[in-house]
Structures are given as structure tokens and as C-alpha cells.
Amino acid sequence: MKKTITIIVPCYNEHEVLRQCHSSLTALMQSQPDYDWEVLMINDGSTDDTLDIIKELAAADPRVQYVDLSRNFGKEAAMLAGMDYAKGDCVIEVDADLQFPPDVIPLMIERWQHGYADVYGRYTYRPQESWPRRVLTRMFYRLLRAASQFDVMPEVGDFRLLDRKCVDALCTLREQQRYTKGLYDWIGFKKCEVTFEKTERVAGTSKYSMRQLFALACDGLTSFTTAPLRLAILGGLIISLIYNDPAQGFPTLIVVMLFLGGVELLALGIIGEYVGKIFNETKRRPVYFVNSSSTTPRDANGKS
């Protein structure tokens, strides 16, 4: 029996690129006739006519299915929705903007056939991004790798082929503040790398602002490690050991007080970040809601 491959495409205001995305995926599917294909487009609360275009594509091509989320939940949630609805024996995640070149996909499939469960793309070229974004990205990954035991690489993103085993595993992780890049590593399974050259967005602009990236970075750090909490302990210890001449006058006193105040506020902020996380997760809200869809979640089809 033919195996089925599902391509998940999260779409947020991508009306400029969707048709082009579909035609390059069509070319890919035609070049791989040994598989059945499903293209699952997740409309993540777009405010332009993305959904209309998706529906149009779905009407013209029976392989295209869609899930329309009730609002913009973010890419992480959209990808989870895609995994819940994917019927394939494996799933490939691509961005609508074609920054992940589909011509690498045949190689990913080959690796999958050789028994790898998670074939991830690692890019060799970072397209023009502003330097603060580049520097901050690099700093963040260094921090994350130092603080957690996971090997999250900056050049590795969501462009990957996941076997059904991995998809089922990821679907069981229903945390609200998702940091999927870390989750891929956390679930384990046999991994394999393929390299590709990341290209510029074909049209439109990045859907992530610096603020969103910062929030994602905070989520990434705090959902995979409690190391920042230890920082407060360490800082406290060091400061309490400081011994100095007691009579040094008013300015010194003020400086010391301000310094300690700053350290305390920082520690409080870190604790607050975790408390906020606990608060959000204990509400146990679903990660997304679906407005309409052309297909059903895999669970509804009597998954074991």
C-alpha cells in the first residue's frame, strides 16, 4: 500500500505567496508518485483573503485540505493543529513563504525510508535579517544551550519530516506556551540532518515582530529549564559573601543599595516569569479552536 505524506503549511496573511507555494508543492508531489499526498493548510486567523485562496486551492485540488482556526493563535499552535489533523504516515512542515525549498524534500523522504524518524533541515545561509535580530538570536541560542541539556541549534527550524511516531508524541504535549523547536529534541527518536540553503521570502514580510520573537525566546528558556531560578540563589550567595570596610560613606551605601535592589528585582522578575507560566498552564485551556475545516482530526477517525 502507498504511504501517505502530509505537508503542513501554517498560513498567516500569506495571500501573496499561497498560489506560488501550492504550485511548487504540486511540482514536488508530481515528482514523487510513489506516495499519496495531503497538503494541510492551516489558516491562523489571517485578516486578508488567505482563507478564500486556500478554499479555492482546495476546491481545485483534492489533495489540499484546510483547517481554519478561530483567530490568530501563532505558528506554534497552528502547527499543533496541523499535526492533530494530519493523516499521513509522516508529516513535513513547510512555511508558506517558500523559505524552505521543496526540492530538499525528496532527500528527506529518502532518509525517512532508511529508518530515521525526524529528518530536520539545517540551513547554511541566513537571509538578510537586521543585525540586532541576528545578534540577539545567536545570544539566545547560546544561553538556551548552556541552560538546558538540549541541543537546540539556531540554524534548525520547523522545516522537517516527522514520522508518525513523532507526530503522535508531539500531539500528546498540549502545553499552552509552546516552544516546538525544543519539543522536537525533547521527544527524542532517531534524528538525521539534511542541509539546505534558506532563500529570501518570495513575497510579503516576516510575520514575526521583534516583540514576538522576544516572547518566544522567553518561552523557550523558561519552558525547558529552571536554571535562571538558580541564578538568583547563586547571586544571593555571592553577594552575601562580600566583605568590605563598613564605614565608606553615603554614596557607597546608595550604590550598594541600588545594586542589591536591582538584583532583587531581577530575581523577582525571573520567579514571576515562572509563576506566570504556572498560572497559564493550570488553566488547561486548549491550544487552539477551529472555526471550520475540510477534514477531521485524526483522532476522530478511530486512531488507536
* Residues engaged in binding Mg ion (CB under 5 A): 95, 97, 99
Cβ closest to Mg ion, residue 99 vs residue 223: 99
Please identify, among the stretches 53-61, 74-82, 112-120, 183-191, the one whose residues bind ligand UDP according to the rule CB under 6 A: 74-82
CB of 17 to ligand UDP, least distance (A): 8
d(CA 57, CA 71): 21
Helix/strand number for the chain, H first, E second: 10, 8
Closest CA to 197 of 109, 98, 129, 111: 98
Cβ closest to Mg ion, residue 66 vs residue 100: 100
Largest Cα separation within the chain, whole Å, is: 84
Q: Which does 10 bind (CB under 5 to 8 A by kind): Mg ion, ligand UDP, none?
A: ligand UDP
Which 177-216 residues touch ligand UDP, going by CB under 6 A?
Answer: 206-208
Residues 6+ apart with CB under 8 A from 156: 120, 121, 122, 123, 181, 193
| Residue 291 binds ligand UDP, judged by CB under 6 A | no
Cβ closest to ligand UDP, residue 99 vs residue 177: 99
Cβ closest to ligand UDP, residue 96 vs residue 105: 96
CB of 237 to ligand UDP, least distance (A): 39
Closest CA to 228 of 256, 242, 220, 282: 220
Which 2-41 residues touch ligand UDP, going by CB under 6 A?
Answer: 10-12, 14
Which 87-116 residues touch ligand UDP, going by CB under 6 A?
Answer: 95-97, 99
Block residue for cell numbers 486578508: 48
Closest CA to 166 of 121, 120, 201, 131: 120
Beta bridge partners of 42: 10, 67
Binding residue (CB under 6 A) for ligand UDP from 22, 55, 75, 298: 75
Please identify, among the stretches 67-75, 138-146, 247-255, 259-267, the one whose residues bind ligand UDP according to the rule CB under 6 A: 67-75
d(CA 162, CA 164): 6
**Residue 93, SS3 per DSSP:** strand
Footprint of ligand UDP (CB under 6 A): 10-12, 14, 44, 72, 74-75, 78, 95-97, 99, 206-208
